[in-house]
Amino acid sequence: MQRIIRHVIFWVAYLMLQSYIEFAWISHSFSSVAPVERFLMALSEESLQLLIKIPLVYLSFYIISHYAIQLKNYVTAIIFLLLTTTLALIAHRYMVVKVLLPYIYHEVKVEDPFSITRIISSFIDLFFLIGIANAIKQFSSQLALREREKNLIKEKLEAELHLLKAQTNPHFLFNTLNNLYALARKNSDQTADVVMKLSKLLRFMLYESGKKRIPVSQEIKLIQDYVELEKIRYSDRLSIDFNIDIDHEHYEITPLILLPLIENAFKHGASETRFDTFININLKLTEAQLYFSVENSKDPSGETEIIENIGLKNLRRQLELSYYNYKLNLQNEESSFKVELMINLNSYSDL
C-alpha cells in the first residue's frame, strides 16, 4: 500500500510540475485567455500525455530490472529501451497532432509536426522522464536495502544478546544447585531456606531476565538474594560487605548485567581462598551514572596476569550490545582481584 501511495505522489507531483511549465510556455500565445483557463488547458494536455508516459516508465522499469540487473545484459537493455522510447515517441507525436493541438489548443493546421526539432524535443522529454523515474526507483531501492540490512544486523545482535543471557542463566543455576546439593548432603536445617530463595531466583529467570531492561531495584534484590545464598554456604569464614547508595530506584538496567561479577568473586575468590576471605561490593547510582565494584580476596600465590574467563568475556560482549557509554576495569593484585564497572544507564542501545 505504501508503495502505491509513493507512486501516486510521484505522478501527481510530476503532473503539477509539467503543467506549470506548460502553463508558462503557452502564456505568451494565449495571453487573451484567463490564467485559470490557461492552467486547465496545460493540465489537460499533460494529463493526456500520461497515457503514454506512465506505461513507458513502468515498461522501462521492467526492461532495466530484467535485463540490466538480473541478467546483466546491458546491451539488450539499451536496445529494448531505445526501441520502446522510439515507439512511445511516435505515439506521443501522433497524440500531439491528432488530439492535443486540435482539441485543447484549437490549432487545426500544424506546420511540420514531425520535424527534427519537435522529435528531439519529445525524445528528450520522454527520456528525461525515464531517467528521473528510474533514478528515484533505484534510490528508493537502495534505501530499502540499507534498512533491510540494518534490520538484519539488529536481529543478529538481538539473537546474540539473547544467547549470551541464555548462557548466563544455566551458569548461575549450576552454581546455586551445587550449593543446595552440598547442604542436602549435610542434612542442614538451612536446606529448606535455600530451596525457597532458589525458587525466587528461578522466578526472576523465567519472568524478568528476558526483558530488555528492568528497574535497578530488581537487579539489586537479585544480587542480595544470591549473596544470602552464598552466605549460607560459606558461613563465618567469609566476610561480605555490600554497600548501596542510589539516588533514585526508577532507573532501568539490563537484567543480569551485574550478577556475573558477583558470581566471579565467589567462584574464583571465596572458593579458592583459605584465609582472610572477603568480598567487598559497592554500588553507587547518581543521575543515571552507575558505579559498581566487586573486590575479592585471592590466593597470594596465584597468577597476577589478567586472564578473562568465559563469564567476563560474556559480560563484556553484553555490555557492548547493551550500552554505548561504559567502562570495565580489571585489577589483579597479589592478594585481591577487583572489577570496576561504570555505566551511563541512559546510553542503552535499541536492541
HEC readout, the chain: CHHHHHHHHHHHHHHHHHHHHHHHHHCCCCCCCCHHHHHHHHHHHHHHHHHHHHHHHHHHHHHHHHHHHHCCCHHHHHHHHHHHHHHHHHHHHHHHHHHHHHHHCCCCCCCCCCCHHHHHHHHHHHHHHHHHHHHHHHHHHHHHHHHHHHHHHHHHHHHHHHHHHHHHHHHHHHHHHHHHHHHHHCCCCCHHHHHHHHHHHHHHHHHCCCCCCEEHHHHHHHHHHHHHHHHHHHHHHEEEEEEEEECCCCCEECCCCCHHHHHHHHHHCHHHCCCCEEEEEEEEEECCEEEEEEEEECCCCCCCCCCCCHHHHHHHHHHHHHECCEEEEEEECCCEEEEEEEEEHHHECCC
The CA distance from 224 to 221, in Å, is 5
Is 54 in the same domain as 184? no
Is 192 in the same domain as 338? yes
The mean pLDDT value for 298-315 works out to 70
User: Which amino acid is it at 246?
Assistant: I
The mean pLDDT value for 46-56 works out to 89
Handedness of CA 98, 43, 5, 350 (dihedral sign): positive
User: Which amino acid is it at 306?
Assistant: I
Q: What pLDDT, on a 0 to 100 scale, did the predictor assign at position 179?
A: 64
Q: How confident is the model at residue 313 (pLDDT cuts 50, 70, 90)?
A: confident
Long-range contacts of 169-174 (CB under 8 A, 24+ apart): 169/205, 169/209, 169/256, 171/260, 171/263, 171/311, 172/201, 172/205, 172/226, 172/256, 172/259, 172/263, 173/201, 173/202, 173/205
The mean pLDDT value for 224-249 works out to 83
Going by C-alpha positions, the residue among 314, 313, 344, 325 that lies closest to residue 161 is 314
pLDDT digits (tens, 9 = 90+) for 7-21: 888 889 989 998 898
The mean pLDDT value for 343-347 works out to 92
Is 106 in the same domain as 181? no
Q: How many other CB atoms sit within 10 Å of the CB of residue 217?
A: 16
Domain harbouring 219, CATH code: 3.30.565.10
pLDDT greater at residue 65 or residue 176 = 65
pLDDT at 243 over 90: yes
Going by C-alpha positions, the residue among 270, 273, 299, 280 that lies closest to residue 340 is 280
pLDDT at 292 over 90: yes
pLDDT at 340 over 90: yes
Q: What pLDDT, on a 0 to 100 scale, did the predictor assign at position 319?
A: 87
State which residues form the domain around 183: 152-347
The CA distance from 28 to 77, in Å, is 41
Is 65 in the same domain as 175? no
Cell of 42: 496545460
Answer whether residue 124 is part of any domain.
no
Is 110 in the same domain as 156? no
Answer whether residue 261 is part of any domain.
yes
Q: How many other CB atoms sit within 10 Å of the CB of residue 222?
A: 23
Segment among 9-13, 108-112, 166-170 with least mean pLDDT: 166-170
- On whether the pTM is more than 0.85, the answer is no
Is 103 in the same domain as 196? no
Is 110 in the same domain as 157? no
Is 221 in the same domain as 89? no
Q: What pLDDT, on a 0 to 100 scale, did the predictor assign at position 176?
A: 65
End position of a domain, from candidates 88, 114, 140? 114
Q: What pLDDT, on a 0 to 100 scale, did the predictor assign at position 71?
A: 63
Is 171 in the same domain as 308? yes
Q: What pLDDT, on a 0 to 100 scale, did the predictor assign at position 327?
A: 93
Is 201 in the same domain as 325? yes
pLDDT greater at residue 306 or residue 39 = 39
**% the chain with pLDDT above 70:** 79
Most confident of 38-42, 83-87, 93-97, 156-160: 38-42
Residue 291 pairs with which residues in a beta bridge?
284, 342
The mean pLDDT value for 77-101 works out to 82
The CA distance from 297 to 290, in Å, is 24
pLDDT at 51 over 70: yes
Is 58 in the same domain as 173? no
Q: What pLDDT, on a 0 to 100 scale, did the predictor assign at position 121?
A: 81
pLDDT greater at residue 330 or residue 275 = 330
End position of a domain, from candidates 67, 87, 114? 114
Number of domains in the chain: 2
pLDDT at 171 over 60: no
Segment among 84-88, 153-157, 194-198, 329-333 with least mean pLDDT: 153-157
